[in-house]
């Protein structure tokens, strides 16, 4: 079963489908072991965690592609990937789609911000024309074999709800399989998008413009997918700061050991002992002697 097929299967199995952010291969494994049927690689997550940069369109296609390859090597859970604006013209977008599909991504989302983009929940966003966004989606759809294409619109904050819905409709006509309605400020807004007839994703990110709605509330509006793009990584960052502060202040980690994943827990998630058993079978003492 292809990555795209696995994503569609998850979408059919869970209503709405919860998609959690995974900033690297190990966190993707933890998400899988926690029971999630789909995971997400955020452009902001790549910028912040892999490069120490803000989410301002500063990372390249290859930067994100490397993290995609690492994650899809570690898990078969279908991966949704943020490709920002596609990194260039129609030819660039087509190349991006082919490379990401080849790297094992199940679905990518492309947005209608200008190339010098901003976080979707920050002020000052600027968007391209509806026609240019539709062209981006067409370029992506034409280049894929099976990979799914999601169109994200940031138009609500710039031009209002009617414009955002019109853009979503144009993207569907251009070949988008799904719609990503970014930074909604009222629960009822999602219904305008779900009425368009394709599965819709709600981005339930913390500290943004959207309330932290439950899956039940969103499902009642017809939302098919609920995204938690950086929830775990925010907690990881705070936990790291707490541990660093304790070590620096107490001259020991004794007071925070109870917050740490144990060595045995790490080994369990990694399947460490299976690797060791394989080494022993291949190169153990007295092997072939």
**Annotated binding-site members for Mg(2+):** 82, 84
- Report the half-sphere exposure of 152 (CA within 13 A, side-chain side): 25
Active site residue 118: no
Rounded Cα–Cα distance for residues 140 and 75 (Å): 25
From the list 111, 112, 154, 177, the catalytic residue is: 111
Kindly compute the dihedral angle of the four CA atoms of residues 253, 254, 259, 265, in this order, to the nearest 10 degrees: 90
203 is catalytic: yes
E strands, 143-244, in order: 148-153, 178-181, 200-203, 225-228
Q: Which of 84, 101, 112, 154 is catalytic?
A: 84
Residue 82 annotated to the active site = yes
40 is catalytic: yes
Q: 13: exposed, middle or buried (C-beta count within 10 Å: 0-12, 13-18, 19+)?
A: exposed
Concerning whether 55 is annotated as a catalytic residue, the answer is yes
Binding-site entries: 42-44, 82, 84, 119-120, 152, 182, 203-205, 234, 263
In 3D, which of 106, 155, 107 has the Cα closest to residue 133?
155
Which entry of 55, 67, 154, 177 is annotated as an active-site residue? 55
Task: Summarize the annotated binding site for substrate as residue ranges.
Answer: 42-44, 119-120, 152, 182, 203-205, 234, 263
Candidates 24, 32, 40, 101; catalytic one? 40
User: Residue 130's Cα: distance from chain center in Å?
Assistant: 24
Q: 275 is written with which tokens?
A: 């690797």
Read off the tokens for 141.
Answer: 């759809």
**How far apart (Å, rounded) are the C-alpha atoms in residues 207 and 215?**
18
Eight-state DSSP code of residue 72: H
Q: 258 an active-site residue?
A: no
Q: Say which of 107, 109, 112, 190 is annotated catalytic.
A: 109
Q: Which of 112, 119, 144, 171 is catalytic?
A: 119
Burial of 248: CB neighbours in 10 Å, binned 0-12, 13-18, 19+: exposed
119 is catalytic: yes
Of the candidates 198, 212, 97, which has an alpha carbon nearest to the alpha carbon of residue 153?
198
- Choose the catalytic residue: 67, 182, 190, 213: 182
Active site residues: 40, 55, 82, 84, 109, 111, 119, 152, 182, 203
């Amino acid at each position: 079963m292809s990555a795209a097929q696995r994503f569609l299967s998850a979408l059919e199995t869970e209503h709405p489908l919860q998609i959690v952010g995974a900033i690297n291969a190990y966190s993707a494994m933890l998400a899988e072991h926690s029971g999630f049927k789909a995971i997400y690689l955020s452009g902001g997550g790549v910028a912040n965690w892999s490069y120490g940069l803000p989410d301002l369109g500063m990372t390249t296609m290859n930067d994100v592609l490397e993290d995609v390859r690492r994650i899809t090597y570690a898990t078969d859970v279908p991966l949704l990937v943020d490709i920002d604006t596609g990194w260039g013209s129609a030819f660039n977008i087509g190349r991006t789609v082919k490379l990401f599909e080849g790297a094992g991504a199940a679905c990518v989302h492309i947005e209608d911000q200008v190339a010098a983009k901003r976080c979707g929940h920050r002020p000052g966003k600027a968007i391209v024309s509806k026609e240019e966004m539709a062209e981006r989606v067409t370029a992506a759809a034409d280049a894929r074999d099976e990979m799914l294409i999601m169109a994200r619109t940031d138009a609500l904050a710039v031009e209002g709800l009617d414009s955002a819905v019109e853009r979503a409709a144009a993207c569907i006509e251009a070949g988008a399989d799904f719609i990503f309605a970014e930074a909604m400020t009222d629960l009822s807004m999602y219904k305008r998008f779900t009425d368009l007839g394709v599965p819709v994703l709600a981005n339930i990110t913390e500290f943004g413009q959207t309330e932290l709605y439950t899956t039940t509330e969103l499902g009642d509006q017809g939302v098919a997918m609920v995204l938690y793009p950086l929830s775990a990584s925010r907690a990881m960052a705070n936990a790291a700061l707490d541990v660093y502060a304790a070590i620096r202040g107490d001259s020991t980690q004794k007071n925070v050991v109870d917050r740490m994943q144990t060595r045995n827990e790490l080994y369990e998630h990694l399947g460490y002992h299976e690797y060791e058993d394989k080494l022993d079978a291949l190169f153990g003492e007295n092997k072939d002697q």
